[in-house]
A and B are shown apart, each in its own frame.
Chain A
Amino acid sequence: MLNSLSLIFKPWIVEGFKKPLSEYETAAGQTSSWLGEFILTCWFTAAFVFLKPSIAGVPSWKLPLLYYPQITFCRPRLFDPVRFVIQTVWLTVFRQYGSRRFHRYVTLYLLKALRFVNNLFSLPFNKFAQLVKWLETKADKNKSTDLNEAAEKARKSKWNNYGLFFVVLLLAVLCFTVPFGLVAQAVFICLLWLLAMMFRRMPGRFPTMLLIILSVTVSCRYLWWRFSSTLNWDDPVALFLGSVLLLAETYSWLVLILGYFQNIWPLNRKPSKMPESKELWPSIDVMIPTYNEGLDVVRATVYAALGVDWPQDKINIYILDDGKRDSFRDFAEEVGVHYIRRPTNEHAKAGNINYALAQTSSEYVAVFDCDHIPTRVFFQLTMGMFLKDPKLALIQTPHHFFSPDPFERNLSNFRNVPNEGNLFYGLIQDGNDLWDSTFFCGSCAILRREPLEEVGGIAVETVTEDAHTSLRMHRLGYRSAYLKQPISAGLATETLSAHVGQRIRWARGMAQIFRVDNPLTGKGLKWPQRLCYANAMLHFLSGIPRIVFLIAPLAFLLLHSYIIYAPALAIILYVLPHMIHASITNSRMQGDYRYSFWGEVYETVLAWYIARPTTIALFAPNKGTFNVTAKGGLVEKSHYDWLISKPYLVLVMLNIIGLGFGFYRLGWGPNDEIGTVLINIIWTLYNLLILGAAVAVAMEAKQVRKDHRVDVSIPVTLRLNSGHLLQASMKDFSLGGVRVEVLGFSEMQLEFFNKQRLEIILNRAEQEFVFPMQVSYSSQGTLGLQLAELTTAQHIAYVQCTFARADTWVRWQQNYHTDKPLASMRAVLQVGFNGYKRLLRYSPQIVISLVKVLQILCGFIYSFRPQYIQKRT
C-alpha cells in the first residue's frame, strides 16, 4: 500500500511514513491489515500535506493514537466507526483531563477536613490519653501490693460498688431505651463514632474497655430498637420471618457481649520457676494416644518426647495404640518407650486414656495427640505452676500448627493471615484464664492425676471429652491455667472435609455438654466460669443464625416481606453503628489473632454442617458417634470438592436470584421502596462475596509432599568429607530432610554437590549435633538435603534440633501485621470474588461458555465508552 504512494511522492517521503506505521503497529501489538494500512496512509498523507509537522509538541501523524486510544487504526474493527463518533463527540463536548483536577480538589478538601477534625480532637485526646495512662499505671502498680489487703479493701467498699453499679445500670438502661428521632440518633452515633476513633488511637487496656462500652451501648440500643419498633405485627408472614431474623440477631448480640466479657483482660500468664533441686521435680506420664495415624507421624512426637528437658527417671512415655498395630509395638520397643494396647475400643480417645490411667501412676499426666510435637522446654515452662498452686488441675498450651489448614492452603495465605485457631488459642483461652475457666483441649496439656481420677478420668459421656473433663474439675473447685506460648506444634487437618468433620464433632460435643452437664446450672462453678463455658458452647450454635443472615435479604427481595419494619434511613442509622462499633472493638481486641471479617468466612463454611448436628444434639444428646480427625494425608490432585460446597452453591444460587429480583424492583418497583431495595441488594452482594470465599475454600489445592516443610532461617554448618566446614543457613526443615542456602558457590559448583553425601551440623542449646545427609538437588544457591540412615539417638537429636527447638514457633505470631479492618474487608471480599472465578474453572462446559459469552458481551459494550485523554505537556 505504502509503496503505491511512491507514484505520487518522492521515495524519502514514503520512507518517512514507515516509522509512524510501525509505531501504530507496536501500540496495537498487531500487524496492520490492508484496510488499516489504507486508512493510515491516507491520514499520513493528509497530515503531511495539510498539517504542521508537530502540533502542541506531538508529531501530527500521532494525534489519532493519542485521542482515540480505544481504536486500533492499523486493524480497524467492525464497530470502530461508532467508537470514533462517540469519542469525537466526547472530545468536542467535554473538557478533558478535568477528572484529575476534580480528584485533586476532592482529596485536598478531604485532607483539610480531616486535619480540622484532628485538631478538634487533639486537645481532649491528649488530656484524655494522659488520664488513661495514669489509670493504666495505677492498675499495674496495684498488682504488687498485698492481695489480701486489696480483697479486704474491696469488701469494705462493697456497698459503694453496689450503689455505683446500680446508678450505672440505671443510666445504661436509660441510654439503651430512650427513643430518638432520626436526627438525634444521627448526632448520637456520630459522637460515639468520633469517641471510638479517638479511643482506638490510644494504647493500653483501658481504651479497649472504653471501646467495649461504646460498642455495648450502640448494640444494646440497636437490639432494643429492633425489639420495640421494627416488628410488623399486622403481617403474620413478615412477623414470623422478622422474628426468626431477630432471634438470630439476638444470638449474635449475646455472643458479642459474652465475647467482650470473656476477653476483657487476657491474663497473659508467665511461666513459674522450677525449684533448683531436681528432687522436687514431679514425675510425669506422657500419653500419646493414636488410632489410625501413620507411624511416621507418631515417630516425631515420640522422639520429641524422648528429648524433652526433664529428668529421665521422672518421665514415662506411653504410646496408647487403639489401632492394635504391631509396627507401633515394635517401634516402642526399639526406642524404649511404653506401649499400651487395650482389648476393646469403647469411648475412643477418652476410653484409651482412661485405660492407660489405670495402669500408670505418675503424679501428672501430659496428653499429646500423636501429631503434636512438644518442644524441649515444654515441661520446664509449665510444671512450675503446678508446684506453686496445689489446687491447679490443668495447664493447657496452644495448639500450634506448622502445616497450613485447608483455609490457608486453599486460599494460599499461610502465615499471612492468622488462621482459624489463632483467635481461640491467642485470645479466648487467655481471656478465659482470667475467669479461671480455661478448658482442656485434648492435647498439649498437662493434668494433675489426683483431680483427674476424682472426676472419674476423662469424661466419656460426650464426644468432646476434653472440655467436659475440665468442666467437671472446675465443678470440684479445681483451677486451670493457660500458658500462651507455642511450645508444641502439630499438623493441621489436611482437607476441608476432614476439617469440617472435626468441627462437626466439636459442635456436637459442645451441644451435648449443654444438655448433659449444663454449665449454667449445677453446682460448683462461679458465675464467670458459667458464662465462659456457656459462650464456648453458644459459639458452636452459630450455624442456624449464620444461615438466617445469609438468606435474610431474600425475604424482602423474593417475598416482598418487610422483616425489618422500618424506614431505610432508620435501619442504616441503627445497623451501621452497631456493626462498625463491633468491628472496631473486635479489631482492637482480636486484631492480632484474627483479621476482621475472616471470622465470617470461617463461620460461613461451617454453618451448614454444624447446624444439623448441634440441633440434633441439643434435643437428643446421646445420638451421634465419635469420628477421628484424619491427619497426615495427601491431596494428590487439585480438585473441587463439589460435595462439601453443595449447600453453598444452593445459597449462592438463591442469592443470585434475589439479586435479580432486586434489580427488577429497583427498576420497576415503587419509588418509595428504593432505599430498602438498595440496602437489601448491598446485603445480598456482601453475602454473595462471603459465600464466594466459602466456595473458594472448597477448591482443594494439591498437596503432594508427605513431610511438611517448616520455613525457618537458622544458621547451620555443612561439613564436607574433606573436612571443610561451610557456613550455611537452614531455610526449611521437615522430618525427611532440610534445605540449606550456601554462600560463596556458583551454580555450577553447587551442582557438583549433587548426590554427594555430606554432614550437617545443627545447634541445640549450644551443643552441636552432626547428621549424615545426601544431597538430593541443588538450585539457586540452595541445596536440598535428605537425611541418611540415623540411629535412634540421632533421630531424637534431629527432632530436637528442628521441630522441638524451643524458639521455632515463637516468631510466627510476631510475623502477623496488625489488623486493618477496611483492608481486611477488602481482602476477604477479594477472596470471595476470586472464589467465583476459580469455581468457574471447575464448572461444566456450558456454564463456562455462557459466562464467556457474557464476558465478551460486557467487554464489547464497555469498549464503546469514551475515554479521558491524558494532558499533553
Chain B
Amino acid sequence: MKRILLISLKGGAGSTTVTANLAHSLVQLNKSVAALDCESSNLLKLHLGLPYEAEDGWAKSMLNELSWQDAGFESPSGVTFVPFGQLHCAEISSYQADKERLLRTMLMEFSKVSISEHAEEWQLIHLSPQELHNHIIADFAEQCELLFVVTNPEPLNYSLLKHFLQHNELAKCLLNNNKLKVLINQFQPETSVGRDFLLIMQKELQHLAVSTVLHKDTAVVESAANMTTVAQFAPHSQAAKDYQSLAFWCVSHLASEIENSNVE
C-alpha cells in the first residue's frame, strides 16, 4: 500500500486537479487507486465524473450516521474515490464542531480499506489548506509515504512555501523523514516571471522539488468542464504527458525509497 497526501498552501494552486489526474495516470500504470477528498468544497468528484447533483460523501454520511462506504464511487476511468459530500448550513457547523473526531475516524478507516487483490494499491488523500496546522494530519502523515505540497511558480505561493518550510511543524517532521516533496503546478514557460520563479524554486528547493513540472494547459480546464481527467479528454496535450511522467516519478521514487530503507 502506497499512500500519498496532497495539499496546497492556498486555494487555487490546483491540488484537487492534481489529485484527480494523478489518480487516473496511476490507474493507467495498472495500479489500483483509491482517492479521498477531505476538502469541504467537495470538488474532486467533478474531475472524476460525479455530477453536481450527487451530494453523497463520507462527511455527509457520517454526520447522518450512515456508513461512509456507501458513498464510495468509481470513476469511468477506473479510479475508486470517496467524495467529501455536499454539506448544508447545519451540517457544516456540526462538522466544524466535531471535525477532529470525524477526520481522524475517516482517515483511520480509509487507510484500512483494500479494494483490489491483484494490482498494487495506492491511496491519494486530498487535504484542505486548513489542515496544515492540524495535529491529526501530522500524526497520520507518519503512516504515509509522501506528502505533495502543490504550489505554483509565482510570488504568493513562493512566500507561503518559504514560510511553511521554515515554521510549520508538519513540514519539519516530514522533512526529517524525507517524505515531503514540492510539486510545481501551473508553470507558464511563456512568461518570464513564471520561468524566473521556477528557476528560483528549483535552485532553492533542490531535491525537495519533484523533477516533473506541471504546465498550465487549457486542456486541464476543458477536461474539468467535461467532468473527466486530462489524460482521458486530451491524451495528446502536454498536461496529459506531465501527469504521466508524474505518475512514473511517483512509482519509481517510492520503489527506490523502499529499496533504500531495505538496504538500511
Residues of A within 8 A of B (CB): 717, 719, 722-727, 742-745, 759, 761, 766-770
Taking each of B187, B189, B219, B241, which has the highest tally of chain A beta carbons within 10 Å of its own beta carbon? B189
Measured CA separation A850–B262 after assembly (Å): 83
Measured CA separation A549–B193 after assembly (Å): 69
Interface contact A725-B195, CB-CB below 8 Å: no
CB distance from A54 to the nearest CB of B (A): 58
Taking each of A717, A725, A744, which has the highest tally of chain B beta carbons within 10 Å of its own beta carbon? A725
Interface contact B199-A767, CB-CB below 8 Å: yes
Q: Given A725-B217, A767-B195: A742 and B190 within 8 A (CB)? A: no
Per CB-CB distance, the 8 closest pairs between chain A and chain B, nearest first, are A744-B236, A725-B238, A723-B218, A768-B189, A725-B217, A770-B190, A743-B236, A724-B218
How many chain B residues sit at the interface, stated as a range, is: 20 to 34
Chain B positions within 8 Å of A717 at CB level: 215, 238
Interface contact B237-A726, CB-CB below 8 Å: yes
**Smallest Cβ-Cβ distance to A717: which chain B residue:** B238
CB distance from B216 to the nearest CB of A (A): 7
Chain A positions within 8 Å of B215 at CB level: 717, 725
CB distance from B28 to the nearest CB of A (A): 15
In B176-195, the 8 Å CB interface with A consists of 187, 189-190, 195
Chain A positions within 8 Å of B237 at CB level: 724-727
Interface contact B240-A723, CB-CB below 8 Å: no
Q: Given A759-B190, A761-B189, A768-B195: A725 and B219 within 8 A (CB)? A: yes
Measured CA separation A767–B190 after assembly (Å): 12
CB distance from B26 to the nearest CB of A (A): 20
B5, CB-defined interface residue at 8 Å: no
Measured CA separation A281–B183 after assembly (Å): 35
Q: Which of B211, B216, B235 contacts A744 (CB 8 A)?
A: B235
CB distance from B256 to the nearest CB of A (A): 20
Measured CA separation A348–B218 after assembly (Å): 57
Chain A positions within 8 Å of B218 at CB level: 722-725
**Smallest Cβ-Cβ distance to B244: which chain A residue:** A727
Measured CA separation A723–B239 after assembly (Å): 11
Measured CA separation A740–B201 after assembly (Å): 31
Chain B positions within 8 Å of A723 at CB level: 216-218
In B142-184, the 8 Å CB interface with A consists of none
Interface contact A727-B219, CB-CB below 8 Å: no
Chain B positions within 8 Å of A722 at CB level: 218
Taking each of B216, B235, B237, which has the highest tally of chain A beta carbons within 10 Å of its own beta carbon? B237
Measured CA separation A727–B219 after assembly (Å): 12
Interface contact B217-A727, CB-CB below 8 Å: no
Measured CA separation A769–B198 after assembly (Å): 12
Q: Which of B189, B199, B217, B236 contacts A770 (CB 8 A)?
A: B189
CB distance from B206 to the nearest CB of A (A): 13
Contact with A along B221-264 (1 / 0, CB 8 A): 00000000000001111111100000000000000000000000
**Smallest Cβ-Cβ distance to B241: which chain A residue:** A727
Chain A positions within 8 Å of B211 at CB level: 766
Q: Which of B189, B195, B236 contacts A726 (CB 8 A)?
A: B236
Chain B positions within 8 Å of A725 at CB level: 215-219, 237-239
**Smallest Cβ-Cβ distance to A718: which chain B residue:** B238
Chain B positions within 8 Å of A761 at CB level: 189-190
Taking each of B211, B218, B235, which has the highest tally of chain A beta carbons within 10 Å of its own beta carbon? B218
Chain A positions within 8 Å of B240 at CB level: 727
Q: Given A724-B218, A767-B195, A768-B195: A719 and B190 within 8 A (CB)? A: yes
Measured CA separation A770–B235 after assembly (Å): 22
Interface contact A769-B236, CB-CB below 8 Å: no
CB distance from B112 to the nearest CB of A (A): 39
> What would 15 more interface pairs be, CB under 8 Å, given A719-B189, A724-B217, A766-B211?
A719-B190, A722-B218, A723-B217, A724-B234, A725-B219, A725-B238, A725-B239, A726-B237, A727-B240, A727-B241, A744-B235, A744-B236, A767-B195, A769-B189, A770-B189
Measured CA separation A73–B199 after assembly (Å): 81
Measured CA separation A722–B234 after assembly (Å): 14
Chain A positions within 8 Å of B202 at CB level: 766
Chain B positions within 8 Å of A770 at CB level: 189-190
**Smallest Cβ-Cβ distance to A771: which chain B residue:** B190
Interface contact B219-A724, CB-CB below 8 Å: yes
Measured CA separation A272–B202 after assembly (Å): 27
Measured CA separation A722–B195 after assembly (Å): 20
**Smallest Cβ-Cβ distance to B238: which chain A residue:** A725
CB distance from B182 to the nearest CB of A (A): 15
**Smallest Cβ-Cβ distance to B202: which chain A residue:** A766
CB distance from B188 to the nearest CB of A (A): 9
**Smallest Cβ-Cβ distance to B215: which chain A residue:** A725
What are 20 A-B contacts defined by CB distance under 8 Å? A719-B189, A719-B190, A723-B218, A724-B217, A724-B234, A725-B238, A726-B238, A727-B236, A727-B237, A727-B238, A727-B240, A745-B236, A759-B190, A761-B190, A766-B202, A767-B199, A768-B187, A768-B195, A769-B189, A770-B190
Measured CA separation A770–B215 after assembly (Å): 13
CB distance from A721 to the nearest CB of B (A): 10
In B79-104, the 8 Å CB interface with A consists of none
Measured CA separation A743–B236 after assembly (Å): 6
CB distance from A332 to the nearest CB of B (A): 26
Measured CA separation A197–B125 after assembly (Å): 66
Measured CA separation A768–B192 after assembly (Å): 11
Measured CA separation A741–B175 after assembly (Å): 42
Taking each of A726, A766, A769, which has the highest tally of chain B beta carbons within 10 Å of its own beta carbon? A726
Measured CA separation A743–B238 after assembly (Å): 11
Chain A positions within 8 Å of B241 at CB level: 727
Taking each of B190, B234, B236, B240, which has the highest tally of chain A beta carbons within 10 Å of its own beta carbon? B190
Chain B positions within 8 Å of A726 at CB level: 236-238
Measured CA separation A742–B238 after assembly (Å): 11
Measured CA separation A768–B237 after assembly (Å): 17
Chain A positions within 8 Å of B189 at CB level: 719, 761, 768-770
Chain A positions within 8 Å of B235 at CB level: 744
Chain A positions within 8 Å of B190 at CB level: 719, 759, 761, 770
CB distance from A726 to the nearest CB of B (A): 6
CB distance from A852 to the nearest CB of B (A): 54
CB distance from B228 to the nearest CB of A (A): 16
Taking each of A723, A742, A745, which has the highest tally of chain B beta carbons within 10 Å of its own beta carbon? A723
